[in-house]
Structure 1
Amino acid sequence: MAQRPTMHDVAAAAGVSQAVVSLVLSGSSAGRASETTAQRVRDAAAKLGYRTNLQAKSLKTGVTEIIGLVGDEVATSPFSGMMIKGAQDRAWQDQHTLMTVDTGGDDDLERAAIETMLSHRVRGIIYTAMYHREVTVPAAALDTHVVCLNARDLDGRAPSVIPDEVTGGYEATRSLLDAGHTRIAMVNIHDTLPAARGRREGYERALLEVGIEVDPELVYQGEGIQRSGFEAVRHLMALPAPPTAIFCGNDRSALGAYQALAELSLHVPGDVSVVGFDDQDLLRDFFHPALTTVHLPFAEMGDKAAALALDPSAPADVHLVHCPVIHRKSVAPPKGR
């Protein structure tokens, strides 16, 4: 096997000292070497196929150029791929790589994953949840800089990056109010979830802001699945004064709502307007007409979490990421207006 090129080989090829090579390849050459010299070093390293010895570097600096990401079912969640991509892109932008472990909710695997990452002297660990919830960060992870992603640290010991559910729910409801609706129902998801509580708070805030009292008859507590969306809309449309618009707590509920309305020979948005939440790409093609929904900004959240993981001085604040309304074809003025 051919011997791997060394820093000495790069220095000889570029006609500079090893100290200059070290400065250039570590990104610390500004003001110490000309750009011409720095480029000559980079060209020599590329031609020789030189790679930095991360193990030796970590012994010197105490960290490696790696960020760890540990999560429950992050490999199988329909959303987590975008979180990972956002974190990976930011890590790569800052010349780091992302080490990802999906624990599948297994506590033993989670402990082993964290210990492995600590043994690699990672710059930080992103502790990720499949869906937005409150978590207790494992004590071992606190041995390095840890950031919660799509989760809020209950103990307030780590920065947390979460979607702004309240503003998302508010803007979803505002889109229906702005279209002229005043009788707006909400089909929510599990009320134990922070997402459900935040989305309902935004819904209620938007109604109260324009002087509309929240009607408990129009708030249906669903399960966040297609069937409960179907059942909710069957119930809501049987009321003496049915809603003219429905805000669904997620897109799966909205799909059930579409099906129930079709069974009742009601059209979206001609008879009833519908807004969802999630902007789940796997479901988009099932909506006819296309669903107006709130986008969960997973890539932006992953980017933010990676940036915080690389900043050991970042305080344990909660960072809310805006969830914009994606306007499509499912909202129109109330029938007759």
Structure 2
Amino acid sequence: MGKVGIRDVAKAAEVSVTTVSHALSEANQHRVSPETREHVREVATTLGYAPNRLASGLRNQRSYLLGLVSDEIASTPFAGEMILGAQDAAYERGWLLMLVDSGRNWDLEQKQLAALLQHQVDGVVVARMYHQEARVPEGAGRVPTVLLDAFDPEGSFSSVVPDEEAAARTAVRELLAAGHTRIGFINNADDIPAAAGRLAGYREALSEAGIAYDAGLVTREAPAVSGGRSGAQRLLGMADRPTAVFCFHDRQAFGLYEVAAQLGLTIPDDLSVVSIDNFEIIADGLWPGLTSVALPHYGMGRWAVTRLLDEIEGVAPDGETVQMRFDCPIVRRGSVAPPRAG
């Protein structure tokens, strides 16, 4: 059988060539019903039909290429789901994603963006390893640009970040619901939006429960296993130690588990623990499993590319930049129980 053309798809789907064209087009797919669009795409897939992107790009002056500029996401195990979400969203709409990772080398990132622009990418996602104010490479504004896990204070670009305050409220409410009233918090020592947002959420959850904030129950440590150890030694060494601890992220919780074991404390009978990240290698690997609020890396990656394509194709419903905050769901495991009586 020769190469399958658009007329072959139209004949097999029993629709017009125009209907096939609309159903397979990012810009015109709204002109056919969802049912027809799905039917045409299924027939096209079965026949092995692939639209001529080169010809389409020449007509629309598009390359159907997107760039994703990362500081270190591709080279670490913690936030790779953002890349997967971004790639899936691009592929589903018929686009390809070109990824570059600078390893936090600013000069290299500038050169990488320039190379992407030379390859005629139609838009760029600037992604960061953790929630932060973005330093956007020069030239990003030459094409539509969306920030992923980052923001710019002026709101010049659409952006998506986790809702840090809500994530912390969810974590602390889990401990409050189990009956804990003396809850410690091992926060991140770095001056970053996540640390400020999670402290605010911690305080808000306590306030909702009528519990006064006690600064003595909060410690700021390195965002690492070692930071969890030092924070745990401070909190669990108190004469009136907390019955539960909220950790900034799972690596700190790992260190907390180690110190609790050294002190002869059993989780969750003697100490309940909740964290943020849901980094499964740690959260599932600890025993008992760590209850953790998941950072929505995959969903944020999907949203960033979807928003970028909407802006490129002129179908963004608002026409203005959007600063999106993503909900963070809790994943319950075995690290929370009511406080031991007495």
* TM-score > 0.5, shorter chain as reference: yes
- Structure 1 residues 244-253 or 51-60, which shifts more? 51-60
AA aligned opposite 1:310: L
* Structure 1 range deviating more: 61-70 or 176-185: 61-70
Of 324, 328, 333 in structure 2, the residue corresponding to residue 328 of structure 1 is: 333
Counterparts in 2 of 1:56 and 1:229: CA distance versus 1, 3 Å:
same
Q: After TM superposition, give the deviation of residue 68 of structure 1 in Å.
A: 1.4
Write out aligned runs for 1:255-266 (5 A). 255-266=254-265
- Find the counterpart in structure 2 of residue 171 from structure 1: 170
Structure 1 residue 26: deviation in Å? 4.3
For residue 83 of structure 1, what is the amino acid of its counterpart? M
Moved more, 247-256 or 74-83: 74-83
Unmatched tracts of structure 1, length 5 or more: none
Distance 1:261 1:74, change over 3 A: same
Q: Where do residues 202-221 of structure 1 align in structure 2 (5 Å cutoff)?
A: 202-221=201-220
Equivalent residue of 1:214, what SS?
coil
Q: Matches of 2:175 and 2:20 in 1, distance apart?
A: 61
Which residue of the partner structure matches residue 114 of structure 1?
113
TM-score under structure 2 length normalisation:
0.85
Q: Secondary structure at the match of 2:139?
A: helix
Q: State the partner residue of 2:161.
A: 162
- CA positional deviation for 1:284: 2.8
User: Displacement, 1:67?
Assistant: 1.9
In 2, Cα distance between the equivalents of 1:255 and 1:149? 27
Over the matched positions of the two proteins, sequence identity in percent amounts to 39
How has the CA–CA distance of structure 1 residues 286 and 331 changed in structure 2, closer, same or farther, with 3 Å as cutoff? same
Whole-angstrom CA distance in 1 between matches of 2:305 and 2:218: 37
Q: Mapping of 1:58-137 within 5 angstroms?
A: 58-137=57-136
The one-letter code sitting in structure 1 at the alignment partner of 2:336 is: V
Matches within 5 A, 1:1-337: 26=25, 52-312=51-311, 313=316, 314-336=319-341
Contact 2:110–2:138 under 8 Å retained in 1: no
Contact 1:69 / 1:98 at 8 angstroms: preserved in 2?
A: yes
Aligned in 2, Cα 1:103/1:179: closer, same or farther, shift over 3 Å? Answer: same
> Within 2, Cα distance between the matches of 1:69 and 1:143?
15
C-alpha deviation, 1:55, in angstroms:
4.1
CA distance in 2, matches of 1:334, 1:164: 29
1:299 maps to a residue whose letter is: Y
Contact 2:284 2:290 in 1 (8 A): no
What runs of 5+ residues in structure 2 fail to find an aligned partner?
A: none
CA contact (8 A) 1:126 1:147 kept: yes
- What per-residue deviation string (whole Å, max 9, x for no partner) do you get for residues 298-329 of structure 1? 11101110111112145222101111111111
The residue type paired with residue 321 of structure 1 is: F
Q: Is the 8 A contact 1:134 1:152 kept in 2?
A: yes
1:136–1:155 contact (8 Å) kept in structure 2: no
Deviation of 1:14 (Å): 8.3
Partner amino acid, structure 2, of 1:195: A
User: Is contact 1:123–1:309 with CA below 8 Å preserved after alignment?
Assistant: no
Shift of 1:39: 6.2
Q: Is the Cα–Cα contact under 8 Å of residues 9 and 20 in structure 2 kept in the other structure?
A: no
Task: Report the CA distance shift for 1:183/1:62 in structure 2 as closer, same or farther (over 3 A).
Answer: same
Q: Which moved more, 1:161-170 or 1:88-97?
A: 88-97
- Secondary structure at the aligned position of 1:274 is classed as strand
Residue 281 of structure 2 aligns to a residue in which SS? coil
The alpha-carbon distance between structure 1 residues 39 and 288, as it changes in their structure 2 partners (threshold 3 A), is closer
Distance 1:174 1:25, change over 3 A: closer
What is the letter of the counterpart of residue 329 of structure 2?
Answer: P
Distance apart, 1:336 and its partner CA: 0.7
Q: CA deviation at 1:109?
A: 2.7
**C-alpha displacement at 1:19, in angstroms?**
8.5
Q: Which has the larger radius of gyration?
A: 1
- CA offset digits 1:82-123 (Å, max 9, x no partner): 101111111112121211111222233322322233233333
- Tell me the SS of whatever aligns to 2:97: strand
Instruction: Give the Cα separation in 1 of the matches to 2:240 and 2:168.
Output: 23
Secondary structure of the 1:288 match is: coil
Distance 1:277 1:23, change over 3 A: closer
Instruction: Using structure 1 for the length normalisation, give the TM-score.
Output: 0.86
Moved more, 180-189 or 111-120: 111-120
The whole-number CA distance in structure 2 between the counterparts of 1:278 and 1:315 is 31
